[in-house]
Amino acid sequence: MSDIHRQLNDSNPNRIILEETFYVLTKKNSTFRVRLTRQGLILVKESETQTKETVIPIKDIIGCRCLRSKKERSCSCQSLPRSSLNVVDENSGEQDDSDISAYLYVYAYILQYNKDVPVKRERTIITLRFRSFDKYEDNNKEAQKWRLVIKMLIRGENPNPSLNSFGCKIKDERKLLVLCNPKSGPGKGRSIFLQKIAPVLLEAEIPYDLHITKYANYAREFVRQSNIFNWSAIVLVGGDGIIFEAINGLFERFDWEEAVRTIPLGVIPGGSGNGLARSIAHNVGEPYTTNTTLPSALSLVRNTRTLMDLVRVETTSQILFSFLSVGWGFLSDIDIESEKLRILGGQRFTIWSLARLIGLRSYGGRVWYLPATNTPVHNTHDVKKPDNIEIPTEMNLETQTGRQRVDSWYSAASKRSAYFSATTNSSYQSTADSGPDENHKNNVRMYGPPSQLPCLNAPPPSNWQCMEGRFIMVHASYPSHLGEDCLFVPEAKLNDGIIWLVIIKADATRSQVFHFLLGLSDGTHMNTDCGDAIQMLPTRAFRIEPDMHEKGYMTVDGEHVEYGPIQGEIFPGLASVLVP
């Protein structure tokens, strides 16, 4: 076994796997020793007076690519010095064969802290220019060796000890199915994916198939009818609606059990609410507000999944699987009635909340629930702050050549050249112009785990509790957030097996409801002393029986369902989602 293989198989995170000396020509006597360990990429800047070390953690590196300099086009201004170096793939046909250098681009998104609190990620590109040898093939061999080891460390893998060299290719069997709703929220789903997500996937060299939906329930039909095992994950770009469609499409498959076990969901926020995307980031302590799409992009790259609870919902006419909430009253009224303001994005909820607060409504009925016993106590996510690091967003280093240097160093990491033409096997497909399946409700069966509850026309079990009267709102939620700025249940986890039932009784005052709404942005809405007028109850199952002499709205994950009796039960860890 070679020394490098022995080092890679050593569990010591500080053992040096690869090491090389690089230079920055634009700065006199600027020398970097670059080391690669399990800990990360270590940049040691040495001078006559001091040595400074910077660590880029492996967990913050998403990918790396080997490239060549691009052949210059002849023009009348050729005598002018170049301000940047364009790069291309090795066999593009546009490479500059006169340049013997091999370039390794390392892409990282480094977590930045403020007073021990993670606040944002800084995109950083480290460009390593290998030119120690007089032939491109030899320099490229060195660059490819570094690339292979970095890729393996990112994936938490060791190279096969039987390999004789590092000249092999990384085999990544992943390919993502991307379903994008271009009309979600303010209608920017397509641009969000192409401008903010696709470049990150390109840096990580992850291929995908992109499908743009054209009508309601397209995602549901696609997931139900397609061989989804051709992909490693289903990525949903849009709002809560497309997530709802995909999840229920999974449970309309006869092989639903294998599908939900093997195919995780990736969530890209592009709607008005984006509650699940925000909950995922919140649960893992990932900064969200500074860049709402980056946590989702990183989750696709890292391929780390976690289990997520789903709730089986039953109405008098259908069975549904819910990932977010079931609502009756105030919040459901806002959700449905504000649809006419969808173009405003999330602001539509704020505007309509004020309208409904002025014209406050209440609804008669009964609420049954099964209390959750032994409710776990959750601590806030503990994030350890790393050593203080100062890393420029672009760093360009090169090895010492064996011959005299006659050229100067040009940056190959400008923003313009950061996104290279893709060689990954990705595809873009707009859906066919055909319309929805009009017979959907008649010829589709809902599968999934069997219910443990009595049917809706039978009385609840004796160990259930009941409230009867008039209610301003009853809302059952499972993740922490109902929307990007709505921290509904601060202590909720993605897989805690709890339905959090928030009940506002009709005797709550407008002032109490107003302060409840104000507190939703930071999770302090339950801190106000409201007696029993506003309650939050941890439950395992619930049933709502509205007075059918009145009219109102009921929603499941923001989708309008028939007004009438409805019940739900939690199925812990039934699905899985990708997390950053």
pLDDT of residue 497: 96
Q: At what angle do helices 218-225 and 240-250 cross, to 10 degrees?
A: 30
Superfamily name and number for 176-308+427-440 = Probable inorganic polyphosphate/atp-NAD kinase; domain 1 (3.40.50.10330)
Distance CA 84, CA 70 (A): 11
pLDDT for residue 23 is more than 90: no
**pLDDT tens profile 333-358:** 887 877 665 555 556 566 656 766 77
Residue 330, pLDDT score:
85
What would the DSSP string read from start to end of 78-128? TTSPPS---EE-TTSS-B-TT---EEEEEEEEEEEEETTEEEEEEEEEEEE
pLDDT, tens digit, for every residue of 298-334?
Answer: 999 999 999 999 999 999 999 999 999 999 998 888 8
Summarised one tens digit per residue, pLDDT across range 262-292 is 999 999 999 878 999 999 999 999 999 889 9
CATH of 325-377+441-574, one of 2.60.200.40, 3.40.50.1110, 3.30.950.10, 3.40.50.11060: 2.60.200.40
- Percentage with pLDDT > 90 across the chain: 58
Cβ proximity of 158 and 215 under 8 Å: no
Alpha carbon distance 363, 467 (integer Å): 13
Residue spans of the domains in the chain: they are: 3-70+85-165, 176-308+427-440, 325-377+441-574
State the pLDDT at residue 72. 74
pLDDT (tens digit, 9 = 90+) per residue, 421-454?
344 567 766 544 445 655 455 578 999 999 999 9
Cβ contacts of residue 354 below 8 Å, gap of 6+?
none
**286-301 confidence digits (pLDDT tens):** 999 889 999 999 999 9
Residue 172's alpha-carbon distances to 154, 231, 278, 342, in angstroms, are 12, 12, 28, 40
Tell me what pLDDT residue 399 has: 63
Across residues 515-519, what is the average pLDDT? 87
Q: Whole-prediction pTM value?
A: 0.84
CATH number of 3-70+85-165: 1.10.10, 2.60.40, 2.30.29, 3.30.70?
Answer: 2.30.29
